[in-house]
Amino acid sequence: MKSMNRRDWLKSTGKIAAAAAVAPLVFSSMANAGTAGGLQSKSSVSYQDHPSGKDMCSNCAHFVPGASASVDGTCKVVAGKISPHGYCFAYTPISS
């Protein structure tokens, strides 16, 4: 068995740490590649067609309204049609 000096041990430990830090970024981008335009699926953000208290999609910074206030719109984060009265974990209130 070959003995390892301190410098070699630090180099190999650094490479392992760097790989561990980069792996989640690589795998999450690969997972998002399967959705429309890199958008999250409704299930991944726990989307629901009803509000959570006063929090709802029509009050969210990511919501893109439909033709009228009562028509489904789209979202900059979540794939698919989005109800203006819906809610998900990506909810970000519109800053005033």
Residue pLDDT tens, the chain, 96 long:
678 899 988 888 888 887 778 777 666 655 555 455 689 999 999 999 999 999 999 999 999 999 998 899 999 999 999 999 999 999 999 986
Distance CA 67, CA 20 (A): 46
Place of tokens 């699926």: 41
Residue 37 has what DSSP assignment?
A: G
Global pTM exceeds 0.75: no
Residues 9 and 49 in one domain: no
Residues 29 and 71 in one domain: no
Residues 77 and 96 in one domain: yes
Residues 63 and 86 in one domain: yes
Residue 90, token pair as written in the block: 């990506």
Domain interval for residue 62: 38-96
Residues 42 and 27 in one domain: no
| Backbone CA torsion sign across 74, 77, 80, 81 | negative
**93 DSSP β-pair partners:** 60
Q: How far is CA 74 from the centre of its chain?
A: 16
Domain count, the chain: 2
Distance CA 57, CA 34 (A): 24
Residues 65 and 19 in one domain: no
Residues 8 and 53 in one domain: no
Residues 53 and 21 in one domain: no
